[in-house]
Chains A and B, each alone.
Chain A
């Protein structure tokens, strides 16, 4: 079954350093997302991406964050200058889109990238 893949699975970084988390969404999907889950807390929406641009972003997604689709398969999340509070599991996800149907809206998550900022 097609799946969303994420790398790295775990990264430790110094405060203030830049981090890039990588994702390969399911190949025929149109919508891409980043979510995060701080340990012990709820899953939180960060940003959605469609047609090569951000379609929605939360208040968490400030100027320190950026997303990019550098080629036809990868989708990246960059944190410019990491803070301790950025430590979390970051999930990439994708949806087929294109129809107001169950199959069009079912969201597929990757296994996550666990980011630890020290």
Chain B
């Protein structure tokens, strides 16, 4: 059974710092992996999607990498800002014709001014 784990559960950094969030999954047979942002009481916003054949995706200050064989993904945030404060979730899609996505519990990020 696919299990997704995110470390750390919470992270507090000063503004301007670069940071890395980690995601691991137990079964490497995934279709894709997505990173999401969730603000308190709000929905999820997709940040980056990495197809299983890809190794990384970049969007602005965000870079996500995927090492499928080792079951790991990282989300790198450069030059963090207070507006980046949110919970970051990773999720793996199990298959092309399997729409079940398994989520991690998230990392709660606080960026202090």
Residue numbers of A with Cβ under 8 A of B are 4, 31, 33, 35, 41-45, 48, 55-56, 58, 91, 93, 100-102, 105-112, 114
Interface residues, chain B, with chain A CB atoms under 8 Å away: 32, 34, 36, 41-46, 49, 51, 57, 89, 91, 93, 96-106
Measured between C-beta atoms, what is the minimum distance from A60 to chain B in Å? Answer: 11
- Which of B32, B43, B98, B105 is in CB contact (< 8 Å) with A105? B32
Q: Chain B's nearest CB lies how many Å from the CB of A11?
A: 15
Q: Is A45 in contact with B101, judged by CB distance below 8 angstroms?
A: yes
Bound-state CA distance A101–B32 (Å) is 10
In angstroms, Cα B43 to Cα A112, docked, is 6
Q: Which of B41, B89, B102 contacts A45 (CB 8 A)?
A: B102
Q: How far is the CA of A43 from the CA of B36 in the complex (A)?
A: 11
Closest Cβ of chain B to A93, distance in Å, is 8
Q: Is the CB of A42 within 8 A of B103?
A: yes
Closest to A101 in B: B51
| Closest CB in chain A relative to B74 CB, distance in Å | 18
A21 smallest CB distance to B (angstroms)? 13
* B46 and A100 form a contact (CB under 8 A): no
Please determine whether A100 and B45 come into contact, CB atoms closer than 8 angstroms.
Answer: no
Contact of A102 among B41, B43, B57, B104 (CB under 8 A): B57
Does B103 contact A31, Cβ atoms closer than 8 Å?
A: no
A107-B101 CB under 8 A given contacts A100-B96, A112-B42? yes
